[in-house]
Structure 1
Amino acid sequence: MKFLSQNNGCPGWDGEMARRIRAYDWSRTELGAIEHWSASLRSAVQLMLASPLPMVMLWGRQGFMIYNDAYAEFAGGRHPYLLGRAVELGWPEVAEFNRHVLDVCLAGGTLSYRSKELVLLRDGKPEDVWMDLYYSPVPDDDHTPAGVLAIVVETTELVLTERARQEAERSYRAVNERIQLALSAGPLLGSFVWDIQADTLSGDERFARTFDYPPQCPLDALPIEIARQRIHPDDLEDVEQRVDLTVRTGTPYTAEYRVRRGEGDYLWVLASGRCEFDALGKPLRFPGVLIDINERKTAEASLLRFTRDLEQRVAAEVQARLAAEEQLRQSQKLEAIGGLTGGVAHDFNNLLQVIAGNLHLLARHEPDNPNVQRRVGASIEAVERGAKLSSQLLAFARRQPLSPAVYNPRRIYDGLGELLQRALGETIRIEVSLPVEPWCIHVDRNQLENALLNLAINARDAMGGEGFISMIGDNIVLDESSCVGKGVAAGDYVRLSVIDSGAGMAPEVLNQVFEPFFTTKTDGQGTGLGLSMVFGFVKQSGGHIEISSRPGEGTQVHMYFPRSHQPEASDPAHQRTLACGGQETILVVEDNDEVRSASVDMLELSGYRTLTATNGDEAMKLLLEGVAVDLIFTDVVMPGLIKSSDLAAWAKVQIPPIPVLFTSGHTRDIISRNHQLSPDTHLLSKPYNPEALTRMVRSVLGG
């Protein structure tokens, strides 16, 4: 019998997955060549391929994956990589769940889940999904369970739709209750009847309460004079004229007027009624109702006040719109430059790493050669300047990896004071002013200190090395109008300002200060990246920066950071003294041959044993073959099916977990969100020296 023939007249057997299964080299797996498969396995696969439901076969203890066309569509970008792979390798983020499935079903049990919530990696990012899952054992020819047949139906959209429906129902019930209460209360303030022939007034209880009639007054004989006295004097004449018009002509009565209440304030009411006449046209009765229109009249008064200054507001809005458009054009220009500069950082830092690594190794091989040491030292200084340049470009482009935490600005300034004075010199006076209880902010402390230091150095240079610099912190609240064109939402902010009394800047210079490589200093005195770096850091931290200056009047730079309501981060504990080397085994995963070679040499000189892989695929193959390692040292951006983030996810679920140290010249948000690292992610930025490498390796291993 031909297994999976080209067309057996059954749906699915001539589909894409049937062709892929026939073409796959199964001899590399425990299943063996396809022609040697057991009859039960062949039958189960044919049944699966004919099914329109997403189905996958997990065969053997490792759960080698065979699946149909519907499951291939569910797998998305992981197809066709999943075919023939062990399930723990194909879905590392749910490895423990799938291991439980194999254990239960290979023991003869079954499992089913309705709308099971799982977290899967899609496009490299975790995503909450819900699925209906059904697992059944598949016996081999000897009737013992040898595999698991799984039906996988994603219900994420159904779950989210059901939740939305339930929320809509709750909202409907709440709105309906409010409507019923409103109808019960109603705006009706009472009804009345004026007996014109007897000149008597009657009304219901609400009408009597509205005009504040004494409780002892009978409702069928209410004194008309009391009602007249309660009407606002400015409205009384108009009310009487409208009543007279209705009585004379039969015109429907409508009048809006104010009624004085017991507290002394006035309530706007709408009175509506009509006059009833006898056969001879003589007026008999005048029934009517009172309706509460106080809210409407209050709104109309507010609208009137608003329209009176509408022209001024329109002019202010137009001015704000023009300013916002100008800021948008400036932001778009800076975004374009940032995208260009961030794009070259990875390759540039890889080149610097090759140069730096070999220079440091050369220095270690020739410790007694002063000529070599001098030239290597000069070259390493140049590499460090290049690394700083690359870091500043990434900061401007808002692509540098940040490690933010919650800080009190007072603690940051306290730690920065001595460094500022040392960097600025004795001829510069610094005054720091902060609120008694400044709000906390969520920032990368090192980058904030660098930003403040850059601004202070710029201020010193603008004052010619002598003068007075103010550093001021304020708790402020920005309203909607204050946030127009700034790219931030209204709310609580901490504003950190650096103010100098230097030469100031002309408007045409001010418009360019945040552009990279723009500088007003003479050649060789600056790179023009200081303010660019500050701009990128503040924006990446969710804040806003603005600068104001006039020639001869100094410069003010204001950084706005959103207030954080989280508890403040504690001071880091005293760092333990870590040895510079060790004897552990480290797997180095790096696609650049020169970088990988230099990294291995540096680690081995420190006493570590090393294994190497050129990408994530090779690394995972080594690990699945049982190679024992103490740490994975991997580049972030590499070719291959398995990304560095997948490698780390697999390492995290091992028992015990394998620590991972990332390295990169530019992470491209593969291991971060908005280039902000989570606390359990360790990154060593390129280029690095041997000391930094061994210190970081020791720290991760020690942690």
Structure 2
Amino acid sequence: MARESPVEIPNLHELLIQEVVDYAIYMLSPTGEVISWNTGAERIKGYSEAEILGAHFSLFYTDEDRIAGIPARALKTATESGRLAAEGWRLRRDGSRFWAVVVLAAIYKDGEVVGFAKITRDMTEQHAAQVAALESERRFRLLIESVTDYAICMLDPAGYVTNWNAGAERITLYRSADIVGCHFSDFYTDEDRQLGLPALALLAARTDGRYATEGWRVRRDGSRFWANVLLDPIQDSGVLVGFAKITRDLTERREAQLQLEASRQQLFQAQKMEAVGQLTGGLAHDFNNVLTGIIGSLTLIESRIAAGRYDGLSRYIAAAQGAAGRAAGLTHRLLAFARRQTLDAKVTAINDLILNMGELVQQTVGSRVTLSTDLTPNLWAVRCDSNQLESAILNLCLNARDAMPSGGSIVIRTINQRIADRAARDLRLADGDYIAVSVTDTGTGMAPEVIARAFDPFFTTKPIGQGTGLGLSMIHGFAEQSGGRARIASEPGQGATVTLYLPRHSGEAPDETLPEPEFEASYESRRGSTILVVDDEEAIRMLVVEVLSDFGYVCLESWDSDHAIETLRAHPEVRLMITDVGLPGDMNGRQVAEAARTFLPDLKVLFVTGYADSAVIGETFGDGTRILGKPFSLDVLINQVNDLCA
């Protein structure tokens, strides 16, 4: 077959070819003998020009290639096609092998082959790297395919499965032949597909670089399993080419979690029922006592009045009031435990408070107990509810007395204390200045398991009927509401110390205690003021209206929020609204006050409630708002009303 030669090597290029060292460039005769040799050929193959000229080029081939006749086929292919490109192992002079990339071109003259130009490049390093990469890929593929604990599959950019490992087959029950080409959303539940979760998963992985989730997935047989899923995007030169998806079956762990949660709920219910039992055992006993006192006193008053006998009524009235006060104390303890009592926080001089209550405490604990104080001079001021603090100290002293049935000593101490770093973390307090108020006794002490539960509501070591288990929980609640903490230090037989940590107040000096205005003060400036009383308890409305009317106020009544708004719109002369926080109707007391002030901006408000905190009332009403906790004495009510209507 006659054709023109596609390759010509002019003599002008010989010097250039000789200078090339990265390529072996040489000429062959028509039968394959070497007739020229450049510097690159000598460097790559190791033969000098004198050694190799006249030798057959098959000398560079391996024995197996020569036996297979590859050199002869190379010349034949180049002759027939004009060119041959190939890769393979070749030999150097020292017998070592290298990976050669070869181009063999036929040279024609007058349509006849007069020789061959041969170019060889040593690609051993590149070939080794390629082989290593292929081997690594092969091993990785074998590793992935052999993993059975994880479902590992590849998705194309649209979410269709492109490959599938043994773990995926074991977990989902789909064989590779069944699932390749299907969309990965087949594993989702019907409800998740309706919500579009598969598409959201692909979007999240593409946007965030990874998507991790847990949820129910569906096997081939329709059964569900709890899956932990990782979805990673795969990119090539910044272009998304697919996703790698790894799924783990965590059904057993999920079922264990659900069982644990159910057990926790059962334990919580059991603890709640235990608390209710303790409450009915101790608290109900105390309430029955005070109710007996109230009912008995009122019955005697009624019978004396019916008989026209008025002597001694004041004694029965005092007994009923005292019993009612003890009942109020029990509800306050409950509210303190729940952290829901309304605190009347004022700047308090604690040392003065302790000294002023010393005689009361001594009388309460009895003569067999020695009471002493160790008070730090120049004690920092505290902003707290002084009545609650007084009640807390008294309760601690009573507990101390009960821990010393044969007598002993109680010491009330105060100290300024800086608490920071580890000490603050141990006490769960912010770094800062605190006043520590402690009550120490020489009693029986507490075991660690008792200390661990001492602040729990209704927990008590006393016999039924001798304690409600609310005293320490009330103290703990008061301390936390005041921004502090309560802590117990004790050992069996070594007495106990209960310490209240209260944050230092760095503002103004302690407030002076001002006497309440006398009942007999002049009310002329307020006489005739209109007041709206809002409460769903008819008895409470009746009492409030009666006492306010006696002091010259004009009273209107409402029993729910809707009627209250109607009344306020119909009577713009209302100066003060007294309202419970919890009301029937569409609004609570706070919302009624807010709505009313949109059309009566100067309306004063007195919230009267048995269950309130500042979060319910809020801090948005300004000076024209007060809070009065139930139960309350009528003289306190009158003083609050007089002050608001002044």
TM-score normalized by structure 1? 0.45
TM-score by length of 2: 0.48
State the structure with more CA Rg: 2
